Amino acid sequence: MEMIELGKTGVMIPEVGLGTWKYSGGEAPLRRGIELGAFLIDTAEMYRNEDRVGQAIKGLRDQVFLATKVLGSNLRHDQVLRAAETSLRLLNVDCIDLYQIHWPNSSVPIKETMGTMAKLVDAGSVKHVGVSNFSKRQLQEAQGAMPNVPIVSNQVLYHLKRREIERELLPYCQEHSVTVMAYTPLADGSLATKPRMRRDEGLQALEQVATETGKTMAQVALNWCTSHPNVIVIPKSNSVDRTVENCGASGWRLSPEQIAALEKAFLS
């Protein structure tokens, strides 16, 4: 498993992690992923599965980089503190490695929210702070509201079919050492499925590159994401086999020509 630095923290994380949105796979896929080096597990207050994640990593805490998120509707000072306390209890851990704001909320002053996140870091309950679904402007505002604690990540939607972040958010994050965590990196699963129609040029190109590399379509789609500097992926899988497949997206690289062919095909 290839590793990249989380922000400028010196902490190394896997370029393929384990997402848990709508997760129903039990303990085995998560444990197998950890064995294969995908030791970053991402959950959230909203997912209502922090207790199951906590059970899955029982006895493995020192091998896991644990990320969770506070709801965008719980961003007042006391709400953030209560949410963090609840997440710690459900996960059955003493500290959250990466605590993220799930969605921005314009009705709550960003200074209040970020001040509370910094307080959690000072208290030792949280090691690192991240955001999710923040635009460039929102990220800049959050950074300005918490000058003494870096925002190390921004978790956003990113895959071959959805590349809006490439316009300004991705370059900004790369320039300022904010790790981009790509969620839903296989789209709705269609990036792992052979095309049914000949006119689907994107999937045809993806299948062609998979054949050239001897990899699966899913592995190629994930590798395309991580071919961009400072980007990791957190696909969700409910099965051990698919988890193994996803982990196989790391340890190799698409050629520049293959990347260009994929990007051209998915723009058409």
pLDDT tens-place string over residues 97-139: 999 999 999 999 999 999 999 999 999 999 999 999 999 999 9
Q: Given this model, what pLDDT does residue 197 score? A: 61
CATH of domain 3-186+224-251: 3.20.20.100
Cα(153)–Cα(234) distance, rounded to whole angstroms?
A: 13
The burial class, CB within 10 Å (0-12 / 13-18 / 19+), for 235 is buried
Mean pLDDT, the chain, whole residue set = 96
Tokens of 28: 């085995």
Cα(122)–Cα(220) distance, rounded to whole angstroms?
A: 41
**DSSP-derived 3-state class of residue 205:** helix
Cα(95)–Cα(91) distance, rounded to whole angstroms?
A: 9
Q: Are 218 and 191 in contact (CB under 8 A)?
A: yes
Would the pLDDT of 53 be above 60? yes
Q: What is the pLDDT of residues 237-249, one digit of tens each?
A: 999 999 999 999 9
Cα(9)–Cα(68) distance, rounded to whole angstroms?
A: 18
Cα(201)–Cα(65) distance, rounded to whole angstroms?
A: 38
Entry pTM: 0.94
- 99: nearest Cα among 122, 120, 82: 120
Tokens of 67: 């990320």
For the chain, give every domain's residue range.
3-186+224-251
Report the sign of the C-alpha dihedral through residues 254, 260, 261, 265, in that order. positive
Q: What percent of the chain has pLDDT over 90?
A: 94
Q: Residue 257 CB: number of other CB atoms within 10 A?
A: 10
Decide which of 54 and 189 is more confident.
54
Cα(254)–Cα(233) distance, rounded to whole angstroms?
A: 16
Would the pLDDT of 83 be above 70? yes
Would the pLDDT of 267 be above 90? no
- Write out the H or E segment, with its range, that includes residue 232: strand 231-233
The residues, any chain, with a CB within 8 Å of residue 89's CB and separated by 6 or more, are none
Which of 108-122, 125-139, 172-186, 191-205 is predicted with the least confidence, judged by mean pLDDT?
191-205
